[in-house]
Chains A and B, each alone.
Chain A
Amino acid sequence: AQSVTQPDIHITVSEGASLELRCNYSYGATPYLFWYVQSPGQGLQLLLKYFSGDTLVQGIKGFEAEFKRSQSSFNLRKPSVHWSDAAEYFCAVGPATGGGNKLTFGTGTQLKVEL
């Protein structure tokens, strides 16, 4: 069965500092991997996704993520965090038959940004 682990429930960083959110997955085949951001009381917005090809993917809002098959990881990074980045971040994995089908989500990481 597929699963996603986000080891960090909460992370606090200072504005302007770099950020890395961890995501590890378990999947029986080549996965599709996603990072979503959720603001309070809101739905999910796709930050970036990995289907194949270059293992370093660029997303919106200055985020990037690197797929490392050997480590079963897909960590999200941002070089300089802005206060508006404070939100909940979810990593998700889905089957390689098409983006968005039956996504399995991690438990999320709550990001706080100190001014």
Chain B
Amino acid sequence: GAVVSQHPSRVICKSGTSVKIECRSLDFQATTMFWYRQFPKQSLMLMATSNEGSKATYEQGVEKDKFLINHASLTLSTLTVTSAHPEDSSFYICSAKAAEAFFGQGTRLTVV
């Protein structure tokens, strides 16, 4: 199947700083990418839908000014967690859609 690469796989940052997570579709072009958040022992919650060249669509309750999404090309979407707080610590997973969605390996964010 198609490959989606997510980087970094693990990051620790200080409260108040910003962290950028990249999601790349390596062997296909993805007009749409999705960002999910997964809390420990819980399911994946869709945060936003990222469309190449346009603004992301955020799910209800997700702060768009805190979770900045940029989808500048057909193979790259980035999620920036701004002014990170400990409660932002979570597992973030992206998926890229061609005919179906393929998932990245996730990013474990820990805010200290």
Report yes or no: A106 in contact with B43, Cβ–Cβ below 8 A.
Answer: yes
Report yes or no: A43 in contact with B103, Cβ–Cβ below 8 A.
Answer: yes
Interface string of B70-111 (1 = CB under 8 A from A): 000000000000000000000001010101111111101000
The residues in B between 1 and 21 inclusive whose CB is less than 8 angstroms from any CB of A are 1, 4, 6, 9-10
Report yes or no: A43 in contact with B100, Cβ–Cβ below 8 A.
Answer: no
Partner among B4, B42, B99, B106 whose Cβ is within 8 Å of the Cβ of A41: B106
Report if A107-B104 is in contact (Cβ < 8 Å); known contacts: A43-B93, A46-B1, A100-B97: no
Report yes or no: A99 in contact with B43, Cβ–Cβ below 8 A.
Answer: no
B68 at the interface (CB under 8 A from A): no
A14 at the interface (CB under 8 A from B): no
In the bound complex, CA of A44 to CA of B42 (Å): 14
Report yes or no: A41 in contact with B100, Cβ–Cβ below 8 A.
Answer: no
By secondary structure, the A interface counts as: loop
Q: Please give the distance in Å from B90's CB to the nearest CB on chain A.
A: 13
* A9 CB contacts on chain B under 8 angstroms: 41
Report yes or no: A49 in contact with B9, Cβ–Cβ below 8 A.
Answer: no
Partner among A36, A42, A100, A102 whose Cβ is within 8 Å of the Cβ of B105: A42
Interface string of A34-55 (1 = CB under 8 A from B): 0010000111111001000000
Partner among B1, B49, B103 whose Cβ is within 8 Å of the Cβ of A102: B49
B26 at the interface (CB under 8 A from A): no
Report yes or no: B108 in contact with A99, Cβ–Cβ below 8 A.
Answer: no
* A106 CB contacts on chain B under 8 angstroms: 43
| Chain A to chain B contacts (Cβ below 8 Å), 26 pairs | A36-B103, A41-B105, A41-B108, A43-B6, A43-B104, A44-B44, A44-B93, A44-B95, A45-B103, A46-B1, A46-B102, A99-B100, A100-B95, A100-B97, A100-B100, A100-B101, A101-B97, A102-B34, A102-B46, A103-B44, A103-B46, A105-B43, A105-B44, A107-B43, A108-B42, A108-B43
